[in-house]
Every structure is written in C-alpha cells, then in structure tokens.
Amino acid sequence: LFGFKTNKVSGYFEPIQASKEDQLLLPKGYRYDVVAAFDDVINAAGEKFGQGSDYNAYFPIDGSNTRGLLVNNHEYTNIFALGPVKDGKKSKEQTDKDLYYQGMSVIEVFQDDKGTWKMDTTSKHARRINGFTKFEFTGPAKGSAILKNASTAQGTFANCSGGVTLWNTVLSCEENFSELATEAGLPLTHYGWVVEIDPFDGSFLKKHTALGRFNHENTAMGLTADGRVVVYMGDDKKDACVYKFVTKGKYVPASGRQNSELLADGTLYVANLKSGKWVAVTYEALSKVIGDAKFKAPAGVKGTREELQRMFQSQADVVTNVHEAALILGGTPTDRPEDVEISPFDNTVFISHTNNDNHGNIHGHITRIFEKGNDLGATEFDFEIFIAGGRQSGFSSPDNLAFDSNGNLWVVTDISTSSMHKGVHTSFMNNGLFVVPTHGAAKAQAMQFASAPTDAELTGPFFTPDERTLFLSVQHPGENTTDLAKPTSLWPHRQGDTKARCGVVAISGFKLG
C-alpha cells in the first residue's frame, strides 16, 4: 500500500494498474459521484452544463465542506455537442452551439446524508458564462488600437485551466481560442487573455490585459516577500515560455475583491532558463532591442526589424503579442509549459512541461523553480527537472497539477488520443491521475490513483478545504468518435444514454488522519 498524508487526512491506497477500460477507475476504498455532465440542466432558467470540462474550483458556502459553488471551465466541443461537421466547415447553428457550450459553469453542489455528491439545480448562483457573455477589459491594452479601441469583449471560450485568487475569485485561461474566434467572426485580439469571475457575483467579469495574451494554460497566485501579488503562467505551445506577473501594488487582505485592481498594473516577466533570470517584458526594453540596426529576429519570431517595429509601438502591443516580444527579449522556448503550482510546503514552483516532439521530448517532465531567497518576487532563480515522464516514472505527458496541504503533487496526464496506445505510448494505456510526494522517503515517486475512460484525459483536480473530497473533470471521453452511431466511449454509462459525456466527478473515500 502506498501512503500519502495531507495535513487533514491520511490516505493509503494500492496504486492501480494502467488500463484500457472505458471506466474511471480508482483504488479500492475510493468512490466517485458524477456531479454534472455535458448538457445537464444546471439551474431553473434551464441553462445547460458546457462541454470539454477542465479546471475546477470549489468555494464553500458558509464555510461548508459539503455544500459549495463549483466553477468548471469548458475548453472545447466535439461531435457529441455539434454533430458531424461537414467538409470541416461548421454551420452558423454549429458555431453558435460552440460559443454556448464553451466558457464556464458555476454550479451548486452538495453531499447528501448518504454521502453522495449531487448538483442543486435550485441554486440562485448557478449560471453559465460563455461565448456570449460580456467582459470588461482592464490594463494597458484596454481601449487601445490593437483591441480595435474596445473596452469590452464578447464572451470567453477555450477556457483551459485556471486558478483561485487570494480574494476568492477565479482566474480562467483562454488557451486555443483562434479557431472559434475566426469562425464566429470575432476579433482575435479579444481572446487569449486571463479572465476573472466572482462565483458569488454574476456582474463581475474581467479580462486582464496586463497578464498578457498567449495560449494561456493556467495561473498560480502567491505573494512576494514584500506583499505584492505574483501570478505564474504557462503558454501551452511547443517552444513557448514560462511567465510571471508581479503587481505594482501590495495585497491588502481587508480589501477583499478590490485587490483585483492590482491585476491591472504590474510587470510581466519571462523566464530565461540559461541565465536564471526573470526578464521584464516591457515596451521600453523591447524598443531598445529592435531599435538597434543590427537586430535580427530570433528563431520563432517572424518579420523584419521594420515589421517588428511597426508591430510593437506601445505596451498595449507588447501585452497583446507577448510570445514574440518575450522571445526577442531572451525568454527561453520550452516544451509546452502547461500547469504551474506553488508548493504550499516550501514555496518552490512546479511547472508541467507536457511534451514537445520537435525536440524528442516525447514524455515531458516537471520542472521545479527555486526563486532566489525563496522570494516569489525575485528576479533570479535556479531550477531542476523534478521528475521526467517515461517508463521509469510510469507516466507520460504531465498536464494539470494540484498540491495537497502536505506537498504531495497530484498530476494528471495528457497523452493525445492520436498517440495513445501506439508506439512508445503503448504501456501507459489510458490517461491517468498520479500522486507524487515532493519530499520524504517517497519523493518523486509516482503512484497511479485513477485511470480515465476511453479517449479521455483527466483535468482540473481540486480538493475541498478539508481534503476529504477531490473534484476531477473527465474531459473528452469518446473523442475519436466519427460516427455518432458508433461512439468509442459511453462514459459515464448512464442508463439508455447513446453519447459520451464529459463531466465533473467528486471522489471520496479519504480517511481522517
């Protein structure tokens, strides 16, 4: 038996074996309830739960560990929402469905007296946020020419992972936004941002441009030694960089949600893994570099010096085209940086580098950053490869991360369905969830805790405050389906159902320590 201890519960489990079953498998003694699945009605208005469930965040109601609001991201849609797409071209009706089923859901969940987690569709807070919801821009690009002078945007979509703020709101990350924005005729520069919502207040909807526009995976928020807010972020592309944003002002706990205004003003840094320095991505620094007549664009940046000078004329332009600015300023291209988490145990920063077949990094790795002086506001750092994917560790392609309060890292994997069960991915079988202690005797040893159904990946692990329930999304079961009459998965196997439904489960069985 493998033991893990959070600060609240002790767990012992027999690690499960890799599997090809169309089931969500857990160790003996643990169980799950499906709290919401694609297309379920979530409220009295009849709004439907979206597709492509990813990030989860649980907010207790009146401090409860058994009743709260659950925020879930909806990253993308597939054949089960849209039906077959003819000749790769969606109809107007399909594009509207796409805008509807992406975005986010806020639902109310509770555990009944038999211990079963359910959704409460009578909730006054339950609502959808999607491609039609109006958001307000903040920060340097708000109202700028590159946003077509807009101070608001239509909707959010491609919402991948996210993070909770110190003031109890959710940051949700727009990742692969360009396809739907193009199909819906929406301006590309209005997407690819970090958005903020307040689960308890439907009128609070922001897009924070100071945090930059790229293929945002997630956010991880902490505090610098002098009390400013820091937000770590991954840009999930091959050969893309790791970022952190540090606010200008200091966090004031008593000000609650007003602290959100801090996210409008600060410095965006990119990691240079060779010098061990966080490099400020500013218009001032960039214009100096491209102002030099001898300047030549580095690999990964297209355009002549003159073209780049036209592209970058203000900080608004820099935050809207961060990837190119960051590479020019010396940011290190890395292997698909996805989730980032700050260890509650020792303040080190863990980054999932999922994989990058451009460089033969087939199974990915988890990088650990040590900020100088253990200060998240430092501009210098050192790093190590904490654990590498592959046969030795037993997992491939790490993606979302979550820490429990004792510093165990909960890691889900994202082997793409085009690679799964083939070649060097064969032995890993379906995607899974692994527990990896970051200190102690079992440090950096991965034990499998869950196995996903067919074609699915597990996403968005998130514990209740008492750590007795783990929320987890099951994303894209059956995504290889091309004929609706022959779905490759029927998870969650509801009686009489004919399609696979992504959704969120509540895992219980954790014992008090």
Interface positions with ligand FEO (CB under 6 A): 75, 160, 175, 217, 236, 338
User: How many angstroms separate the CA atoms of 384 and 172, rounded?
Assistant: 28
DSSP, collapsed to helix, strand or coil, labels residue 252 as coil
- Which residue, 339 or 371, is less far from Ca ion as judged by CB? 339
Q: Which does 268 bind (CB under 5 to 8 A by kind): Ca ion, ligand FEO, none?
A: none
- Which residue, 307 or 357, is less far from ligand FEO as judged by CB? 357
- Using CB under 5 A, which of the segments 62-70, 148-156, 400-408, 503-511 binds Ca ion? 400-408
| DSSP conformation letters of 161-193 | EEEE-TTS-EEEEE-S-HHHHHHTT--GGGSSS
* Structure tokens that stand for 228 in this block: 């400013």
User: How many angstroms separate the CA atoms of 155 and 119, rounded?
Assistant: 25
Contact 71, 106 (CB under 8 A): yes
- Which of 196, 324, 371, 399 is in the footprint of Ca ion by CB under 5 A? 399
Q: Which does 75 bind (CB under 5 to 8 A by kind): Ca ion, ligand FEO, none?
A: ligand FEO
Instruction: Determine, following the binding rule CB under 5 A, whether residue 235 of this chain makes contact with Ca ion.
Output: no
* Structure tokens that stand for 386 in this block: 């904490």
* Shortest separation between residue 215's beta carbon and ligand FEO, angstroms: 7
- Which residue, 190 or 476, is less far from Ca ion as judged by CB? 476
Q: Cα dist. 123→61, 119, 145, 506 in Å?
A: 12, 9, 41, 18
Instruction: Determine, following the binding rule CB under 5 A, whether residue 33 of this chain makes contact with Ca ion.
Output: no
Minimal CA–CA distance to 291: which of 279, 303, 308? 308
- The angle formed by the CA atoms of residues 29, 31 and 33, to the nearest 5 degrees, is 170
Q: Where are the alpha helices (DSSP H) in 196-354?
A: 283-291, 305-311, 315-320, 322-328
* Shortest separation between residue 254's beta carbon and Ca ion, angstroms: 28
**Residue 169 CB neighbour total at 10 angstroms:** 24
- Which residue, 170 or 447, is less far from ligand FEO as judged by CB? 170
- Which residue, 48 or 476, is less far from ligand FEO as judged by CB? 476
- Which residue, 160 or 411, is less far from ligand FEO as judged by CB? 160
Q: Which does 467 bind (CB under 5 to 8 A by kind): ligand FEO, Ca ion, none?
A: none
Per-residue binding string, Ca ion, 414-453, x by CB under 5 A, is: x---------------------------------------
- Binding to Ca ion (CB under 5 A) within 91-150 occurs at none
Residues sharing a CB contact under 8 Å with residue 422, sequence separation 6 or more, in sequence order: none
* Shortest separation between residue 217's beta carbon and Ca ion, angstroms: 6
DSSP, collapsed to helix, strand or coil, labels residue 438 as coil
Which residues, listed in sequence order, are joined to residue 73 by a DSSP beta bridge? 104
Q: Which does 339 bind (CB under 5 to 8 A by kind): ligand FEO, Ca ion, none?
A: Ca ion
- Which residue, 129 or 401, is less far from Ca ion as judged by CB? 401
The radius of gyration computed from the CA coordinates of the chain, to the nearest angstrom, equals 22
Amino acid at 187: P
* Shortest separation between residue 74's beta carbon and ligand FEO, angstroms: 11
Instruction: Determine, following the binding rule CB under 5 A, whether residue 455 of this chain makes contact with Ca ion.
Output: no
User: How many angstroms separate the CA atoms of 273 and 384, rounded?
Assistant: 10
Q: Which does 175 bind (CB under 5 to 8 A by kind): ligand FEO, Ca ion, none?
A: ligand FEO
Query: Which residue do the tokens 């940051």 mark?
Result: 171
Q: Which does 455 bind (CB under 5 to 8 A by kind): ligand FEO, Ca ion, none?
A: none
Binding site for Ca ion (CB under 5 A): 338-339, 399-401, 414
